[in-house]
Structure 1
Amino acid sequence: MHYRHNFNPTISDEEIFDNILDEQELIGYYSLPLQDPSIYKEYAKGVKQKNIVVIGIGGSTLGTYAIYKYLKHSKELTKKLYFLETTDPIDIESKLENVDLNDTLFIVISKSGTTIETISIFKYIHSLVSIDKNNCVVVTEHDSKLKTYADANGMKSFEIPKNVGGRFSVFSAVGLLPLAIVGINIDDLLKGAKMVHQSFFNKRNFYKRLINKARFLVEYKNSFNVNVVFSYSSRLEGFNKWYIQLWGESLGKVDINSTRQGLTPIGIIGPIDQHSFLQLIIEGKRDKTVTVIKVENFYNHLKIPPVKLEGLEELDYIDNLEFSKLINKQADATIESINNVNDIPCDVITIDGMCESAIAALMYEYELLTSLCAKFMYIDAYNQPGVESGKKILKEKLIKNI
């Protein structure tokens, strides 16, 4: 993994790092890369179904989808993974119409065990096919009502630790179980996250780069309140969605001085959004930082063929160019155009390739960055009172039928 940036904050680091060290005793996601994943691999060996359907929403699905989306075209996976995560009836029916429900394992994921969207969809699945211990497994907290349901029906369950928040849970059973079942190497996933963990906590490369970036983002949050992730691969579309939840739900808070804080995440895809959002970046209001994410090796050699098109001969210079090289040159051109204006904070992350360790390292890096930003902002990254208030209102309306 390579990295470069054009900002250079100079604030002292030690107090924030000590706070993160202390937080490790309370917040469980930090240590997830160090776990033994044997229980997930062992369970995965016994799964016979060809279709795996994850029922969940938000932190229960976004991280898993990000990894699956990134890797599924580079791996020879023996099973297909689907996600039911919205109460949109058209989405539910369209996703299920091509799934053989009699050859499906359902993984129901809810940290609280009472997520309305998840239980609503699960009830619908019950109406379509017989659900029992042979085709359903549960991932939840050890004392949730969903765990009670699983126990009552003899279903296998895996625990989400109470000190691991949903949006930080991708390297727990939430992500590792379904990914292991479909054939993704979860040892390599944890290896990538562990590399970042060790580098940061041993004060090597990731320590300096993450603290510097977090300090800059917070110090200049009133000037550059919008943080754009510009991912140059369609396979990173899932990562962008995950980042938006992680950043928005963690950093939109009221601080210890009762001041409203927040950094606004935007995830876009190159080169598609070069033809839309890049115009806003280059000539629009100076309220955005930009992180460009490149993939060093696509492991794909598809080329532009030397087809002669009458009247378009002036573009023959692209003949025989690999598409993977073209997209990276497009990324480089975007980076250069941003740096040329000289007043847009921009950094570049180049990940190694289409492999488990690469996407896991990127995601764990962003988890650490989120925690660091929260420390600098004097907010709690791990609660979500704004979301909970909406849930309470919805529950009251549904109970009263209004």
Structure 2
Amino acid sequence: MKKITLSSGFSFDYTNIMMDGGVVQQDIEESFERIANAVKASERVRRSGVVDGHLSKDGEPEAVLFPQLPYIEEGNINSPAVLHRLEALGKHAQAEIDAVVSFGIGGSYLGGKVLFDVHCGEFWNSMSAEERNQYPRLYFSGNNVDGDRTEALIDQLCREAQAKGGNYKVMLIVISKSGSTIEPMSNFMVVEQGLREAGIDYEVIAVTDPHEGEKETLLHGLAVEKNWPIFSVPDGVGGRFSVFTEVGLIIGAVTGFAIREFLDGAKSMDEACQTGIVTENPALMNALLKYIAAEKYGRNIEIMMPYGDNLKSLSEWYVQLLAESLGKEQKDGSRYGRTPVVAVGTTDMHAQTQEHQEGRYNKIVSFVRIAKGKSDLGVPHIYDTYSKLAAFSGLPLHTIMNTALEANAEALTSDNRFNCTVELPQLNAFHLGEIMFMYCWAIFYEGQLAGVDAFNQPGVEVYKKLLGPKLAAHKEDK
């Protein structure tokens, strides 16, 4: 078995990549120079924030600061004052707010959605205030420009206000570094107007670029003018890494998520990822094997498949992290990229596994397994007269789910289908911080191995330059 296990119980099992017909030791040895350079680059970015060749979208040198995020220290992005302010906002939401609407897209949505799903679960908004420990309901908006859904959200807030019969208050959290991002800003304005027309009390929190003066953004200026509290979208941290900043942590704050434990988990993983010994560094090994699998073995599609409904958003977050970071032109002018696909077990064993098992040999399946579930709910012995139902009666549902993962992995391996498994001892804030920060470092290392800038996204700017004039043309037609 080929596996890296940390003292926390976190493990990365890559046996089914380095199997017969898979990546071999010689592949790793041939990559020693690339590995050494990637490790040196990681040491440099930790020390100085410098990544060779990285420029902002304006063509200016830009620091890369995600390595400091787990450390709550003076002078860091997550300083003690920042954490205290987030916690104070959480207490305010707990005491005064009935519903929160978060407006964000990309990293301003996906990271916070993971925290919400893991901590709150699917039925949070249906629970009583007592069951939520007085924390507010929470809705996401601004991650699309779907008018039907936005109107339905306004209707829902109006129903809640009417049902309470008075003293109902909404918090609108609008997240945009520039303040001109179309999806969150358009939805924010529509919902704010809807609340005004309905006579519903609300307050606004702006999460935006913190700079004032010449560098002040539209949203920052609007927040100052309206006297809205301002939280930061910090410099040096791309949106896909921002779950560890106020951008994502603010969602944790208003739902009672254990922010400090989450950052402690990220810190634990960061310490594990500082070694240059590839067999001891889960992020480096993860990156190396997937890079080799893509470049030498043609496995350039990654199926991200956690087992558990509340982890589907983790897969969606990872898709952005991978796609925006690595789908790039390499330094030698060639192209690099691996296509990520969202999946969740066991659901997609009945939707995608046929393709994984018998389609082209171009995929690697990344499983995420939770060793111990929160629930011990088991299948009762009520239909044991039916042998096919008796076969799994008496078993905990979590055991059935993890056994299905094992069967899926074994089936794939039997036909030389690359797969690997990350296991968390249990699903909590600490271990969530571990896995998410491991993937942040894995993306950094893979960018170095592939010779791409993992921290820009020039491809996204192409459609943005086209969208503005097209929208202006629609206004002229009216």
Corresponding residue for 1:152? 225
For the residue of structure 2 that corresponds to 1:296, the secondary structure is strand
Other structure's SS at 1:346 match: strand
Q: 2: distance between equivalents of 1:301 and 1:261?
A: 44
Q: Is it true that 1:323 corresponds to 2:397 in the alignment?
A: yes
Q: Corresponding residue for 2:376? A: 301
Query: RMSD in angstroms over aligned alpha carbons?
Result: 2.2
* Paired-residue identity, %: 25
- SS of the residue corresponding to residue 389 of structure 1 reads helix
Matched with 2:205 is: 137
Does structure 2 retain, via aligned residues, the 8 Å contact 1:200–1:206? no
Residues 151-179 of structure 1 show CA distances to partners (whole Å, capped at 9, x for unaligned) of 01111101111211111100101111121
Residues 203 and 240 from structure 1, CA distance in 2 versus in 1: closer, same or farther, beyond 3 angstroms? Answer: same
Aligned to 1:201, what secondary structure does the other structure show? coil
Contact 1:3-1:350 at 8 Å conserved across structures: yes
Which residue identity lines up with residue 331 of structure 1 in the other structure?
L
CA apart distance, 1:67: 1.7
- The reply on whether 1:280 has 2:316 as its aligned counterpart is no
Equivalent-residue separation in structure 2 for 1:190 and 1:119 (angstroms): 29
Counterpart of 2:206, as a letter, is V
**Offset, 1:46:** 2.0
Aligned match for 1:79, one of 111, 131, 136: 136
Tell me: CA distance 1:205–1:224, structure 2 relative to 1, closer, same or farther (3 Å): closer
| 1:293-317 C-alpha deviation (Å, 9 max, x unpaired) | 111111101111111266x324312
Q: CA deviation at 1:71?
A: 2.0
Contact 2:178–2:217 (CA under 8 A) maintained in structure 1: yes
Contact 1:113 1:147 in 2 (8 A): yes
Which residue is 1:171 aligned to? Answer: 244
Residues 174-209 of structure 1: CA distance to partner in whole angstroms, max 9, x if unpaired? 111121111111011111111101111255788533
Unaligned runs of 5+ in 2: 1-9, 19-24, 50-62, 73-79, 125-130, 162-167, 211-215
In the other structure, the counterpart of 1:46 is 92
- Secondary structure of 2:340's counterpart equals strand
> Contact 2:300–2:339 (CA<8 Å) still a contact in 1?
yes
Alignment of 1:19 with 2:50, yes or no, is: no
SS in 2 for 1:104: strand
- Measure the CA separation in 2 of the matches of 1:205 and 1:362: 17
Three-state SS of the structure 1 residue aligned to 2:456 is: coil
Alignment of 1:389-400 (within 5 A): 389-400=462-473
Letter in 2 for 1:113: G
Q: Are the aligned partners of 1:229 and 1:292 in contact in 2 as well (CA < 8 Å)? A: yes
2:55 is the counterpart of 1:29: no
Q: Is the 8 A contact 1:53 1:82 kept in 2?
A: yes
In the other structure, the counterpart of 1:110 is: 176
What is the match of residue 55 of structure 2?
Answer: none
- Alignment partner of 1:254 is 2:312: no
Greater Rg, structure 1 or structure 2?
A: 2
1:172-251 equivalences under 5 Å are 172-202=245-275, 208-222=281-295, 223-251=298-326
Change (3 A) 1:352 1:111: farther
Name the CA shift for 1:164/1:206 in 2 (closer, same or farther; >3 Å).
Answer: farther
Displacement after TM superposition at 1:64 (Å): 0.6
- Letter of the 1:29 partner, please give it: F
User: How far apart are residue 55 of structure 1 and its match?
Assistant: 0.6
* Cα pair distance change 1:149/1:269, threshold 3 Å: same
Q: For 1:239-286, what per-residue CA distance to the aligned partner results, in whole angstroms no more than 9, with x for missing partners?
A: 111111111111111111221211110121111111231121121111
Structure 1 distance, partners of 2:317, 2:424, is: 17
3-state secondary structure, aligned to 1:33 = coil
- Aligned-partner Cα distance in 2 for 1:245–1:165: 11
Task: Give the aligned residue type for 2:352.
Answer: F
Equivalent residue number for residue 4 of structure 1: 13
Kept in 2, the 8 Å contact 1:251–1:374? The answer is yes
Give CA deviations for 1:83-117 in whole Å, capped at 9, x if unaligned: 00210112212333322475211100012221011
1:68 aligns with 2:141: no
Q: 1:305 to 1:205 in 2, by over 3 A?
A: farther
Aligned to 2:3: none
Q: How far apart are the structure 1 equivalents of 2:318 and 2:224?
A: 34
> Which aligned segments of 4 or more residues in structure 1 are displaced greater than 6 angstroms?
131-134
Q: TM-score, normalised by structure 2?
A: 0.79
Shift in Å, 1:221: 1.7
SS in structure 2 of the partner of residue 97 of structure 1: helix
Between the aligned partners of 1:231 and 1:255, the Cα distance in structure 2 is: 30
Q: 1:93 aligns with which of 136, 146, 151?
A: 151
Give the aligned length.
Answer: 400
Q: Residues 268 and 135 of structure 1: is their aligned pair in 2 closer, same or farther, counting only changes over 3 Å?
A: same
